A = this chain, B = another copy of it.
Amino acid sequence: MSELPALLAANARYAEAFASGDLPAPPRRHLAVLTCMDARVDPLRVLGLDLGDAHVIRNAGGRASDDAIRSLALGRALLGIATALVIHHTDCRLRGVDTAALRAALVEAGADVPPRHDFLPLPASIEEGVREDVARLRTTPLIPPGLAVHGLIYDVRTGRLAAVSA
């Protein structure tokens, strides 16, 4: 695995053409996107966003985890975030599995995982998972008030987003 030299060479080409060195830290569109780490999702392109437009928070499943809440709370308090989008996607490997099965897969792969460690699997219904995470972001006292939160579903086959009603 010596991917690193090839990646650094690709970065040198990126840096040569780089012309966005004067962007400010606060996102131009006062937006944060919370979505899955999945390789088939490129949230900036999916939403037509430019560099500098939005915070992007990603984890397995696009869950409203404690860490996602930490990130959104800081974005709201320090960097002017006014809107957050929660985007789950079709064909997610975290949907419809349970924590016991996930733990078994990790232990099988050689990890040392405590018995009830929570991997935040998604419920079988994609809409239900989105609503759960939207509700968590709307109700946590850790995020300063005034953040609008919307839920969306991304279809990895079509590239299309659909809003989930609250």
A residues engaging B (CB < 8 A)? 1, 3-4, 7-8, 10-15, 18, 20-23, 25-32, 37-40, 42, 44-49, 51-60, 63, 65-68, 70-71, 73-79, 82-83, 85, 91, 93-94, 102, 105-106, 108-113, 117, 119-120, 141-146, 148, 150, 156-161, 163
* Residue of B31, B51, B67, B156 touching A67 (CB-CB under 8 A): B67
Q: How many copies of this chain?
A: 2
Chain B residues within an 8 Å CB radius of A117:
142
| Known contacts A78-B105, A150-B4, A161-B8; A37 and B57 CB within 8 A of each other | yes
Sample 28 A-B pairs with CB under 8 A, ordered by A number.
Answer: A7-B47, A10-B49, A12-B160, A13-B48, A14-B46, A21-B156, A21-B158, A25-B91, A27-B39, A28-B39, A39-B51, A39-B52, A40-B51, A40-B52, A59-B59, A59-B67, A59-B70, A60-B70, A60-B74, A70-B120, A74-B102, A77-B109, A77-B111, A78-B102, A78-B105, A106-B144, A110-B146, A113-B142
Determine if A79 and B57 form an interchain contact, defined as CB atoms under 8 angstroms apart: no
Q: Which 4 A-B pairs have the closest CB atoms?
A: A10-B48, A18-B159, A67-B67, A109-B144
* Residue of B11, B31, B68, B157 touching A161 (CB-CB under 8 A): B11
| Known contacts A39-B53, A70-B119, A106-B77; A142 and B111 CB within 8 A of each other | yes
* Residue of B10, B42, B75 touching A51 (CB-CB under 8 A): B42
